[in-house]
Structure 1
Amino acid sequence: MDFDLTEEQSILKDSLDRLLADTYGFEERKRHMASAEGWSAEAWNRYAEMGLMALPFAEEDGGIGGGPVETMIVMEALGKALALEPYFATVILGGGFLRLGGSAEQKANLVPLVAEGSLKLAFAHTERNSRFDLARVETKARQDGDGWVLSGSKSVVLHGDCADRIFVTARTGGASGDETGIGVFLVDANAEGVSRRGYATQDGLRAAELTLENVRVAADAVYGDPSDALPLVRRVVDQAIAALSAEAVGAISAMHALTLDYMKVRKQFGVPIGAFQVLQHAAVDMYVAIEQARSITLYATMMADSDDAAERAKAMHAAKAEIGRGGRLVGENAIQIHGGVGMTMEYAVGHYFKRMTMIDVAFGNTDHHMRALARAGGLFDAAA
């Protein structure tokens, strides 16, 4: 299999890397994080001008027609830069529901707005009792004429405080935990009955607690089958895991580079600490973990569009487990080698590690996915 990038993909990678290197340094990021919004509107507009918002959407819907590889390239670059903008929430999560669950009319109405950067989306699914179970939904949706009425609460809605519209999962039938009876609804964030409480997460991004009190939505707010949308949710989440894995590769690669640079300039006993064999071994362990993470991310990327839900899920379980394990190894070694400075808010390496801890718990942590992969019989059939 050829893993080389095409000419167009190489141009995308080089252009985005250059843009972020020139305009999104660590000091700029700290200023964006301290702003009222918590991210940069200027950077968001630059992403739109580059076509990043339109990237995964089909050309006939107003997009560019990129695929999982292009998404991987973008997310790895954003991971290296520790970007704060709601790209993942809007384009990967919200855009995933648009691409995979939207009708032709829904796509025609919304994709151009997402592509130009004027519409920000979010995905509200997690609830207080849901843990990592996508089927554990207690928010209710009852039909009222041609429309629906939603009531319930959602937690840790990534960039839910700035989203214009929010995809919400709600139960149209059955009990919490049932595989069927779950619908996906697009809710106007300023609709009557919607309340949001925004806050900063530990990695510097933004999230919100969302409360819905008899929120009315029209029939055209439904995405997929309102009584059986869990397969759609799982497919969007699987693609999101592949994207998060790429972001993680960017973050841990940056941590490793920072650590190598520090080992060359920090001196102890009159010599650079990089001369000590035990630290060289730690740096090699970090490199091996990064390459393993990169390999499983490539596999997850290739499986992201698979129609085989079982095999796709196994790939994402394996990727998430390996990303969590490798991210922790790289992060702990980076902090250990840096010493006290690695724990300060003024130095970048600690921020990368915080982001990695949040990626680890998003949509299931390492232990959760290891157990799920074991129950599925492993990544590959041992008998085969």
Structure 2
Amino acid sequence: MDFSLTEEQSILKDTLGRLLGDHCSFEARRAHLESAQGWSQPMWARYAGLGLMALPFPEATGGDGGSSVETMIVMEALGEKLALEPYLTTVVLGGGFVRLGGDSRQREELIPAISEGLLKIAFAHTERHSRYDLSHVETSAQRDGDGYVLSGAKGIVIHGDSADKIFVTARTSGNPRSREGIGLFLVDVNAEGVSRRSYRLHDGLGAADLTLDKVKVPASAVFGDPGSAMPIIQHVVDIGIAALAAESVGVMSAMQALTLDYLKTRQQFGMPIGSFQALQHKAVDMYVAIEQARSMALYAAMMAEEADEKERARAMHAVKAEIGRSGRLVGETAIQLHGGVGMTMEFAIGHYFKRMTMIDVMFGDSDHHLRSLGKLGGLLDVA
């Protein structure tokens, strides 16, 4: 199988690399982190100007007709520079819900706004007792004429502090753990009854806890079947896992590059510490882990649009388990080889490790996905 990029994909990778190289230095990132918004509005506009926002949408809806491979290219580049902008939540997750769950009117209304960078979206699914279970939903959605009334609370809504609209999972029927009876609703953050508590996560990204107090949403804000939205939700989360896998490859590659440079310049006993064979072995371990993660990211990109939900689930469980394992190895080794300076705010390596840690826990950590894969009988169905 040929895994080489097409000419258009290579151009995208090179163009995005130049853009991020020119505007996304570590110093610039620190300045954006310290701002009230926590990310760069000018960079967001540059992404839109480059066509990155329109990338995953079909050409018939005004998009660029890109595939999961193009998304992989973008996410890896963003990971390599620790980009702060809400691309994952808005374009990959939010855009995924619009693309897979929206009707023609909803797509016509929302896709142009996303493509032009005018609309920022977040996804609210985590609840107090849900942990990594997407189907554990206690937030209620009560029928109200043609629309619904939402009540409940969601936590750790990534980029929920700056989103204009938030996709919310809410239960229309059934018990709190049932896969049936879950709906997907697009809520305007300025709607009556919506309140947010904003804060920063471990890696510096903005997030919010969301409270819904009898929030009325019209029928136009319902995506998919309000009683059977889990297949759409699960598919979009799987697409998000594939994007996170690509981002993690960028993060790990940057950690390796920084570590190799440090090994070549840090002097001990009158020579670079990179000349010590024990440390060279550690560097090789990092390289092997990154290549394993890269292979899994490619696999995730190929399986992201798989129609068979069970086969897609097997793939994403395996991907997330391996990405978490590799990311931990690369991150811990990078910190160890840097020594004490690797833990300081002034060195980039610690920031990369923090982001890798957050990627691991998003949508389930490696242990969770390894257990889930075991319950499905492993990656390959040998029955």
Q: TM-score, normalised by structure 2?
A: 0.99
**Residue in 1 that maps onto 2:287:** 287
**Residue in 2 that maps onto 1:311:** 311
Which residues of structure 2 form unaligned runs of 5+? none
Mapping of residues 45-60 of structure 1, within 5 Å: 45-60=45-60
The Cα shift of 1:179 comes to 1.1
Letter in 2 for 1:151: S
Is residue 249 of structure 2 the alignment partner of residue 252 of structure 1? no
Runs of 4+ in 1 over 2 A off after TM superposition: none
Letter in 1 for 2:121: L
Letter in 1 for 2:159: H
The Cα shift of 1:60 comes to 1.2
Mapping of residues 191-340 of structure 1, within 5 Å: 191-340=191-340
Listed one character per residue, the Cα deviations across residues 190-210 of structure 1 (whole Å, up to 9, x for unaligned) are: 000000111111101110000
Structure 2 CA distance, aligned partners of 1:80 and 1:348? 11
**Residue in 2 that maps onto 1:124:** 124
Structure 2 CA distance, aligned partners of 1:296 and 1:374? 18
Which residues of structure 1 form unaligned runs of 5+? none
The Cα shift of 1:382 comes to 4.3
Letter in 1 for 2:375: R
The Cα shift of 1:381 comes to 3.0
Equivalenced residue count is: 383
The Cα shift of 1:22 comes to 0.9
Is residue 187 of structure 2 the alignment partner of residue 187 of structure 1? yes
Structure 1 CA distance, aligned partners of 2:111 and 2:196? 25
Is residue 109 of structure 2 the alignment partner of residue 113 of structure 1? no
Identity, in percent, stands at 68
Structure 1 CA distance, aligned partners of 2:68 and 2:362? 19
Structure 2 CA distance, aligned partners of 1:62 and 1:149? 32
Letter in 1 for 2:66: G
Letter in 2 for 1:334: A
Structure 1 CA distance, aligned partners of 2:298 and 2:147? 42
Structure 2 CA distance, aligned partners of 1:381 and 1:162? 43
Is residue 144 of structure 2 the alignment partner of residue 141 of structure 1? no
Letter in 1 for 2:139: T
Structure 2 CA distance, aligned partners of 1:130 and 1:74? 30
Structure 2 CA distance, aligned partners of 1:284 and 1:69? 27
**Residue in 2 that maps onto 1:341:** 341
| SS in structure 2 of the partner of residue 310 of structure 1 | helix
| SS in structure 2 of the partner of residue 225 of structure 1 | coil
The Cα shift of 1:113 comes to 0.4
Letter in 2 for 1:42: P
**Residue in 1 that maps onto 2:151:** 151
The Cα shift of 1:220 comes to 0.8
Listed one character per residue, the Cα deviations across residues 68-121 of structure 1 (whole Å, up to 9, x for unaligned) are: 000000000000000000111100111110000000110000100000000001
**Residue in 1 that maps onto 2:178:** 178
**Residue in 2 that maps onto 1:44:** 44
| SS in structure 2 of the partner of residue 57 of structure 1 | coil
Structure 1 CA distance, aligned partners of 2:218 and 2:179? 24
Structure 1 CA distance, aligned partners of 2:213 and 2:247? 35
| SS in structure 2 of the partner of residue 4 of structure 1 | coil
Q: Pairwise CA RMSD of aligned residues?
A: 0.6
Letter in 2 for 1:333: T
